[in-house]
């Protein structure tokens, strides 16, 4: 698939068919993730492929409910988590992205006010993966609102690593819709901010 | 360009030709970035397109030095920013990503979800640039406060990252990747 077509026609998919997804397609997706650039080539990303129904159900239970003015409703993605054949959980090694060489002879320290850049580098890989999934006819929806410490327990994520994001992976049951984008003029300025 | 070809052949480019890049091409690249998904469709990204050589040079001066053979030298990307005709600075509105509808932060990553959303857009940007024959290199190690002053970042926004955009002078190097088996686990970490 053409890159621009993939970028423009990818949608967040919240309902999936139960059709299986073979390992080869998954490997193509993870390989695409691995080709993302990273801070000092630190490649802090780690991918956990979950097919086990019991584990998927436990992960689905960690999704945060959405607060409406009068009630709380389940995340629209949580229904997808149980019947989709695969969930990819993306973890990060902390303390590497964003760290500089430190003072000569000293300990490494973070270079910017943003601290650890693991959130940034993981997302570079995730964007490659959602595009690679879409180009192979598979849907994804990136989920951040879940109980990460709970998922770390479920998956035995060791100290020094964090669960960052997860996405179901399966055959879309419907075409997703494109949420409206701001006009380019609202987000782009020339030579100085907001101009 | 085929998407997998773009993903696998994109390189971080640190040497640029002075050839111009027109506004239409810059717009294509930014439009691709803008098609990234975002937390609650907040689209927290803001792009500042800098062509003015004095502004580019002032921004290049803020890059953190790097240590090579125990000597502190200018980051190669600083030269890229001076040479390439266009610099794109990506800022984030901090109050959007990571929150529920009532503005409460939703998990222990706090407001740092803006880093995540900016990077989703940034990866679309680097791929689109590559497909159009242009190079990029994502830069994070710069003096944020100085850059925000130079380009006049206001309100609830912060400068997160930047990239020069231009015609590559030479091919970038392939940074060796870890084996898939080092980064993939089945069922448990």
- Which of A27, A91, A149 is the closest to B189 by Cβ? A91
Residue A18 CB neighbours (<10 A): 10
Rounded distance, CA B168 to CA A90, Å?
32
Do the Cβ atoms of A35 and B177 come within 8 Å?
yes
Note the pLDDT tens digit of each residue in B11-53. 999 999 999 999 999 999 999 999 999 999 999 999 999 999 9
Do the Cβ atoms of A126 and B120 come within 8 Å?
yes
- Indicate which CATH number applies to the domain containing B106: 3.40.109.10
* Residue B76: inside a domain: yes
Note the pLDDT tens digit of each residue in B131-141. 999 999 999 99
From the number of C-beta atoms within 10 Å of its C-beta (0-12, 13-18, 19+), residue A140 rates as: buried
- From chain A, pick out residues whose CB is under 8 angstroms from the CB of B53: none
* Residue B10: inside a domain: yes
- From chain A, pick out residues whose CB is under 8 angstroms from the CB of B154: 193-194
Note the pLDDT tens digit of each residue in B59-103. 999 998 877 777 888 888 999 999 999 999 999 999 889 998 888
Rounded distance, CA B146 to CA B31, Å?
27
Check pLDDT > 80 for residue B56.
Answer: yes
Asked if B11 and B174 count as a contact pair (C-beta separation under 8 A), the reply is yes
Rounded average pLDDT per 10-residue block, chain A, 195 residues = 97 94 97 96 96 95 84 83 93 92 62 94 98 98 96 97 97 90 94 86
For chain A, the structural domain boundaries read 13-173
Q: How far from chain centre, in Å, is Cα A19?
A: 22
Do the Cβ atoms of B189 and A104 come within 8 Å?
no
pLDDT reported for residue A103:
53
- Domain of residue B61: give its range: 3-171
pLDDT reported for residue B4:
98
From the number of C-beta atoms within 10 Å of its C-beta (0-12, 13-18, 19+), residue A3 rates as: buried
pLDDT reported for residue A85:
96
Rounded distance, CA A60 to CA A181, Å?
29
Nearest Cα residue in chain A from B23: A190
| CATH code at A13-173 | 3.40.109.10
Helix (H) or strand (E) holding A168: strand A161-169
* Residue B134: inside a domain: yes
pLDDT reported for residue A176:
82
- From chain A, pick out residues whose CB is under 8 angstroms from the CB of B118: 120, 123
Rounded distance, CA A48 to CA A157, Å?
10
Half-sphere exposure (Cβ direction) of A24: Cα atoms closer than 13 Å: 1
Domain count within chain B:
1
- Which of B35, B119, B140 is the closest to A8 by Cβ? B35
């Amino acid at each position: 698939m053409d890159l621009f077509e993939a970028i423009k026609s990818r949608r967040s998919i919240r309902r999936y068919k139960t059709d299986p997804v073979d390992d080869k397609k998954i490997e193509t997706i993870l390989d695409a993730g691995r080709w993302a650039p990273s801070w000092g080539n630190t490649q802090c990303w780690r991918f956990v492929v979950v097919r086990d129904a019991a584990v998927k159900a436990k992960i689905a239970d960690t999704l945060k409910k959405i607060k409406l003015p009068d009630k709380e409703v389940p995340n629209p993605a949580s229904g997808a988590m149980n019947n989709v054949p695969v969930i990819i959980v993306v973890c990060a090694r902390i303390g590497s992205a964003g760290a500089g060489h430190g003072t000569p002879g000293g300990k490494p320290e973070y270079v910017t006010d943003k601290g650890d850049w693991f959130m940034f580098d993981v997302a570079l890989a995730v964007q490659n993966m959602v595009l690679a999934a879409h180009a192979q006819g598979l849907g994804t929806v990136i989920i951040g609102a879940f109980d990460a410490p709970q998922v770390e327990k479920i998956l035995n994520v060791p100290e020094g690593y964090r669960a960052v994001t997860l996405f179901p992976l399966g055959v879309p049951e419907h075409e997703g819709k494109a949420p409206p984008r701001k006009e380019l003029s609202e987000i782009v300025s020339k030579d100085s901010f907001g101009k | 360009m085929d998407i997998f070809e773009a993903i696998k052949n994109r390189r971080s480019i640190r040497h640029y030709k002075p050839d111009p890049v027109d506004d239409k091409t810059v717009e294509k690249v930014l439009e691709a970035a803008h098609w990234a998904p975002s937390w609650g469709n907040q689209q927290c990204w803001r792009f500042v397109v800098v062509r003015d050589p004095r502004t580019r040079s002032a921004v290049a001066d803020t890059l953190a030095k790097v240590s090579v053979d125990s000597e502190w030298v200018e980051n190669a990307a600083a030269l890229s920013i001076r040479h390439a005709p266009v610099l794109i600075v990506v800022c984030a509105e901090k109050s959007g990503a990571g929150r529920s509808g009532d503005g409460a932060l939703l998990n222990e990553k706090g407001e740092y979800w803006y880093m995540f959303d900016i990077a989703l857009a940034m990866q679309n940007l680097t791929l689109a640039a590559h497909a159009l024959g242009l190079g990029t290199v994502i830069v994070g190690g710069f003096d944020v406060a100085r850059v925000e002053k130079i380009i006049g970042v206001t309100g609830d926004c912060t400068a997160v990252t930047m990239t020069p955009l231009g015609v590559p002078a030479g091919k970038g190097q392939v940074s060796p990747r870890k084996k898939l088996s080092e980064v993939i686990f089945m069922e448990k970490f």
